[in-house]
A and B are shown apart, each in its own frame.
Chain A
Amino acid sequence: MRPLPTQGPSFTPLHDMLTAAIPARLLQAGLALGIFNVLGTFRTAGEVAAELDADASNTRLVLDALTNVGLIEKSEGRYQNSALANHYLSPDSKLYLEPLLAMIKRMSIDPLEHPEERIRKGPLLPNARDESGSPCLWVESARASAPWALGEMGTCIARIVSSLPGFSGFKKMLDLGGGHGLFTLYIVQAGETLEGVVFDRAPVIALASEFIASYDMGDSVTVMAGDYLTDDIGHGYDLVWASATLNNAKDNLPALFSKIYDALEPNGYFISLHDGMTGEQTQPAMILEWLGGLLSSGRDLRFEQGEVAEAMLTCGFRSVRSRTLKTPLGQMDLDIARK
């Protein structure tokens, strides 16, 4: 006779981990079917089903499930978008996240559909030098990530930068690989006489121009097209800002950082916002977002925490202050170096 097992730890977290795929899928289905487009005001399940030309009883089930997940609210049998859904999932919103979520799905989630083969056999193209995709992809990814900077992140970065000693005297800043250029717009709006230059590859820079025009900031922010690894990046900057871009220069940090050092005014700042792994490459949770791409590409461009700061010091910056920020996409490190 075998004794029945006695009480051990609860297995609930395992079950929750498995079923965490359900809310993710509900969010995708909600976007694909346009559910959040029709729930700006309270509607019944029947009205939503009629509008979407969908099955009435399953529409009710899915609306109940989306309520459970917190994307919809239900009151007296009627449903409407939660504040979160109104801000980010309604196509009328400036912060519409569908393009970003679709990109994340393609790059980080879909490759994990059947990861066994990649784990057993290794990356698809071992050692292939991936130039981070096509120009179309750069533009798409810069556009999709705009809602990340708009709102809380942009405000937070402008607050940090504007509290640096000497900020009120800043005349000129460079946004290195700035993509949409939105961080520069936030920082320039926080300054008094500050002018900004957004630097990125030619196809991407058109997007920055769009945002500059839409916020009527053409007088104070200009663009510069080029490859910052090989081309001149200008000079006379009080600040060089780099957001989630240095991974592209992971193999060339000393050369790039020396170039940035030379482009700065005396006492100028070089600030980088980037990923930073801790716990022997097991933290933060953001490593999960890189996993799908990494298993397929085999090219590891992630930073260990402190790696960027160390390179800044090696290249002659006299001090580096580091802090960890909680961003909507996960935990990141901000390194502030002073010339």
Chain B
Amino acid sequence: MRKLPRLEIDFNELNNLYFGTVTSRLMMTAIKMKVFDHLGSPESARNVAEALDSHYGNTELMLDALCACGLVEKKSGRYSNRKLAHAFLVCGKPAYLGEWLEQADEAMRPFLEKMEDRIRIGPGEVAKAEDMNSETYCERYTASHAASSLAGIARQFAVQIEKLPAFSSCRTMLDLGGGPGINAMAVAETNPNLQATVFDRPEIARMARCYIETYGFADRVRAVGGDYLNDPLGTGYDMIMITDSLYYDDQKIDRVLEKCGACLRPGGMLVGIHAVLTDERTRPVHLVLDLLAETMTGQAHMPEKGFLARALGRCGFDGITSTMVVICGIPMEMNVGYAKSSD
């Protein structure tokens, strides 16, 4: 008789990891079907199925599964949104994230389907629909970017920037690659004397103007369209803010920072906040996994910890500091540098 194996390790972790696909598909299906719009107050599965014009039995199964994922709760046979779904998955709410998630899902899925090919043959040709620099993609991306900024990211950036001693005396700020301008408005809200310029691609700047109008910042925040690698950015700024934008190779980053140095007033401050790779490029999860589609198709360059501090040094900035901050659960590196004083 041979002894049967006795093991200390079990594969529960693998099983959980494998079922990530189910929670992902389930949540995205419910968003697409607008299930959460019908669960503002406790509803029976039958009423939800009627409202969605869907099959009663399978609607009930979906609702039960959404409870298992923690998005919905069930009491005495009636279902309602939990806090998370209530805040972010009901259409029309200010922080509605359904479109942001749908867009991230759409960007991720073609890549996930063909992952083995990407590993075997490399980035290859990027299909038009997957090109993240196309104009259509940019517009959708900006709307999603606005949603996630409104859902908390902008305010958390602003909290970090407000802590910088030089910030309270700043009167003018350039938000480079500032997207829909939500971050700039959140920062301006913490400093009533600040005038901000949001610079981004023309189609994005057009969208930013709408957001700025909507939230009543038109007298203090303006949006300028252009290509920040090639077009003039203005001069004499007290500070420049760059968040989540400099995902380029060193040569391009240096070109941008040299331009920034020239358009800050002497002694002016540059603040950059970016997710960065650590632990031999295997962490954090939000960069290594979430950007895999972009990096494997050759559309993004993931920066390593210290990339911006080194670049600021190469481009002649003074007083360079680096700190790690956590923005909506994502560890990010915040770098500050000062343009050389005129003396």
Contacts from A to B (Cβ < 8 Å): 1-15, 17-29, 32-33, 52-55, 57-59, 61-62, 64-65, 67-70, 74-77, 83-84, 87-89, 94-95, 97, 101, 104-105, 108-109, 112-113, 115-116, 118-123, 147, 150-155, 182, 185-186, 189, 214-217, 220, 279-285, 287-289, 291-292, 294-295, 298, 326-330
Q: Smallest Cβ distance from A106 to chain B, in angstroms?
A: 12
- Contact A14/B57 with A24-B21, A95-B5, A116-B32 known, Cβ cut-off 8 Å: no
CB neighbors of A among B39-71 (8 A): 52-55, 57-59, 61-62, 64-65, 67-70
Q: Does B138 contact A (CB under 8 A)?
A: no
**Once the chains bind, are A119 and B55 in contact (CB under 8 Å)?**
yes
Q: Smallest Cβ distance from A6 to chain B, in angstroms?
A: 8
**Once the chains bind, are A10 and B328 in contact (CB under 8 Å)?**
yes
Contacts of B281 in A (CB 8 A): 64
Q: Does B97 contact A (CB under 8 A)?
A: yes
**Once the chains bind, are A12 and B329 in contact (CB under 8 Å)?**
yes
Q: Does B87 contact A (CB under 8 A)?
A: yes
Q: Does B151 contact A (CB under 8 A)?
A: yes
**Once the chains bind, are B9 and A84 in contact (CB under 8 Å)?**
yes
What separation, in Å, do the CA atoms of A121 and B243 have in the docked complex?
45
Contacts of B288 in A (CB 8 A): 64-65, 68
- Contact A84/B14 with A4-B154, A216-B2 known, Cβ cut-off 8 Å: yes
The contact of B329 among A8, A10, A74, A122, by CB within 8 Å, is A10
**Once the chains bind, are B65 and A288 in contact (CB under 8 Å)?**
yes
The contact of B14 among A88, A94, A298, by CB within 8 Å, is A88
Residue of A nearest to B32 (CB): A116
Count chain B residues whose beta carbon lies closer than 8 angstroms to a beta carbon of A.
98
Q: Smallest Cβ distance from A260 to chain B, in angstroms?
A: 26
Q: Smallest Cβ distance from A175 to chain B, in angstroms?
A: 14
Q: Does B10 contact A (CB under 8 A)?
A: yes
Interface stretch (choices B120-128, B168-176, B335-343): B120-128
The contact of B70 among A13, A20, A32, by CB within 8 Å, is A13
**Once the chains bind, are B22 and A292 in contact (CB under 8 Å)?**
yes
**Once the chains bind, are B120 and A83 in contact (CB under 8 Å)?**
no
**Once the chains bind, are A291 and B95 in contact (CB under 8 Å)?**
no
**Once the chains bind, are B61 and A294 in contact (CB under 8 Å)?**
yes
- Chain B CB count within 10 A is highest, among A11, A27, A29, A284, for A11
What separation, in Å, do the CA atoms of A136 and B69 have in the docked complex?
34
Q: Does B165 contact A (CB under 8 A)?
A: no
Interface stretch (choices B23-31, B191-199, B248-256): B23-31
**Once the chains bind, are A119 and B54 in contact (CB under 8 Å)?**
yes
The contact of B22 among A11, A61, A112, A116, by CB within 8 Å, is A112
Contacts of A88 in B (CB 8 A): 11, 14
14 more CB-based (< 8 A) A-B contacts, given A8-B87, A57-B122, A150-B7 = A4-B150, A4-B215, A13-B70, A19-B289, A64-B281, A89-B14, A108-B19, A112-B25, A118-B55, A119-B52, A119-B59, A280-B67, A280-B76, A281-B74
Interface of B is mostly: helix
What separation, in Å, do the CA atoms of A281 and B4 have in the docked complex?
36
The contact of A4 among B6, B119, B189, by CB within 8 Å, is B189
What separation, in Å, do the CA atoms of A26 and B115 have in the docked complex?
8
Q: Smallest Cβ distance from B159 to chain A, in angstroms?
A: 9
The contact of A116 among B4, B15, B33, B330, by CB within 8 Å, is B33
Report, nearest first, the 10 A-B pairs whose CB atoms are least far apart: A1-B216, A20-B20, A55-B122, A282-B67, A122-B55, A151-B7, A21-B24, A12-B329, A67-B282, A24-B21
Q: Smallest Cβ distance from B146 to chain A, in angstroms?
A: 11
Interface CB pairs A-B, < 8 A, 25? A1-B215, A1-B216, A10-B152, A10-B329, A14-B84, A17-B27, A20-B20, A27-B14, A52-B119, A52-B120, A64-B282, A64-B288, A94-B5, A108-B22, A109-B21, A115-B25, A115-B29, A119-B59, A122-B55, A123-B55, A151-B9, A152-B9, A280-B64, A282-B67, A292-B22
The contact of A9 among B6, B10, B83, by CB within 8 Å, is B83
Q: Smallest Cβ distance from B1 to chain A, in angstroms?
A: 5
Q: Does B323 contact A (CB under 8 A)?
A: no
What separation, in Å, do the CA atoms of A25 and B111 have in the docked complex?
10
What separation, in Å, do the CA atoms of A25 and B104 have in the docked complex?
16
**Once the chains bind, are A68 and B289 in contact (CB under 8 Å)?**
yes
- Chain B CB count within 10 A is highest, among A59, A65, A279, for A65
**Once the chains bind, are B289 and A69 in contact (CB under 8 Å)?**
yes
Q: Does B283 contact A (CB under 8 A)?
A: yes
**Once the chains bind, are A155 and B21 in contact (CB under 8 Å)?**
no
Contacts of A77 in B (CB 8 A): 280
CB neighbors of A among B263-291 (8 A): 279-283, 285, 288-290
**Once the chains bind, are A68 and B285 in contact (CB under 8 Å)?**
yes
**Once the chains bind, are B5 and A33 in contact (CB under 8 Å)?**
no
- Contact A19/B290 with A14-B101, A189-B4 known, Cβ cut-off 8 Å: yes
What separation, in Å, do the CA atoms of A288 and B25 have in the docked complex?
11
Q: Does B134 contact A (CB under 8 A)?
A: no
Contacts of B108 in A (CB 8 A): 18-19, 21-22
- Contact A298/B22 with A29-B115, A120-B52, A152-B9 known, Cβ cut-off 8 Å: no
What separation, in Å, do the CA atoms of A220 and B2 have in the docked complex?
13
**Once the chains bind, are B280 and A21 in contact (CB under 8 Å)?**
no
Q: Does B230 contact A (CB under 8 A)?
A: no
Q: Smallest Cβ distance from B148 to chain A, in angstroms?
A: 7
**Once the chains bind, are A120 and B55 in contact (CB under 8 Å)?**
yes
- Chain A CB count within 10 A is highest, among B27, B53, B65, B89, for B65
**Once the chains bind, are B21 and A21 in contact (CB under 8 Å)?**
yes
What separation, in Å, do the CA atoms of A215 and B289 have in the docked complex?
42
**Once the chains bind, are B328 and A115 in contact (CB under 8 Å)?**
no
Contacts of B18 in A (CB 8 A): 24, 27, 101, 104-105, 109
Q: Does B231 contact A (CB under 8 A)?
A: no
What separation, in Å, do the CA atoms of A64 and B119 have in the docked complex?
13
What separation, in Å, do the CA atoms of A33 and B189 have in the docked complex?
52
